[in-house]
Amino acid sequence: MINFKQEIAKQIAKASNLDEKELETYLEIPKDVKNGDYAFPCFRLAKDLKKAPPQIANEIKEKLVVDKTIIEKVEVLGGYLNFYTNRQALTKEVLVQMANSEEYGKSELGKGKTIVVEYSSPNIAKPFHIGHLRTTVIGSALYNIYQYLGYQTIGMNHLGDYGTQFGKLIEGYKRWGNEYNLEDKPIEELMKIYVRINELCKEDETVLEACRENFRLLEQKDSYCVELWERFKAVSLKEFQKIYDMLGIRL
C-alpha cells in the first residue's frame, strides 16, 4: 500500500536534510483541489533556514527526485510546495483500500450532530415523475453518506398535499367518484378526475366557485372534505411506496 504523505515527506527529507517524521506532520491537504493533493508549507522552515518561504520552496523543488508513478508533478505556489499524486496510482490505492475494508470511509465526523435531508417531495394525487426521481436518488445518497459519517440523519419527505387542487378533486369526486376505481390505479384515476374537473371549471365559473368552497371547508376541517383528502393521501402514499421500495429508499 502506498502512503502518499510518507513518500512526499521522504523525498522532501532527502532534498532538505530535515527530519522525515517531522516533515510529514507539516503536510496539508489544500482547500482548493487546483492546488494539488498535498501541500508543504515552507513557512515552517523559514525561521530555521533564515530564508523566504518561496525561496525555500524553489530550492527544495530543484533537489526533489520524485517517482512519477506516485507523484505526477510538483509546483511552487508562493511559499508552498504543491504535490499532485499520480491519478492511476491513487485510484488503484483507493480501490485496494475499499476491497480490504467493509467500512471504507466511515467516520464519526458527525457524532453528536443532527442533519435533515429533504428529498423526493412528490405531489399527492399526481404521478411520480422524473424530477421527483432525481431528487429522491440524490437525497437518498446524501442521507446514506451523512449517516455513514456519524450524523443522526433524518430523511424528510415534504408532500405537496394541500392547496386549491384538492378543492377541485373533492368536487370531481363528489360528481363522478363512482365512475373511478381508486384502489386499482389511484394516481391515474385521480389524475383523470382532476383533468375532467379542471376542464369543467374553464367552462363554468360556478363549478370553480364550488371547488374553492370545498377547499375553504377543508381548511375548516369539514368532516366529509377531510375524509376525502385523507383518502386521496393514503392511496397516493401507498402508490409512492411501491417506487420507494423498488429503489430501497428510506424516509
Active site residues: 126, 129, 132
Angstrom distance (rounded) from CA 251 to CA 238: 14
Angle between helices 223-247 and 186-203 (to 10 degrees): 130
78, 18, 35, 75: which is closest to 53 by C-alpha? 78
Task: Please say whether the dihedral angle defined by the alpha carbons of residues 52, 54, 59 and 64, taken in this order, is positive or negative.
Answer: positive
Angstrom distance (rounded) from CA 146 to CA 151: 6
Say if CB 26 and CB 81 are below 8 A apart: no
The two beta strands, 80-85 and 71-77, are antiparallel
Phi and psi, residue 80, nearest 5°: -115, 145
E strands in the chain: 38-41, 71-77, 80-85, 114-118, 152-156
Q: Which residues pair with 115 in a beta bridge?
A: 153
Q: Going edge to edge, which strands form the sheet with 38-41? A: 38-41, 80-85, 71-77
Return the SS3 of 160: strand
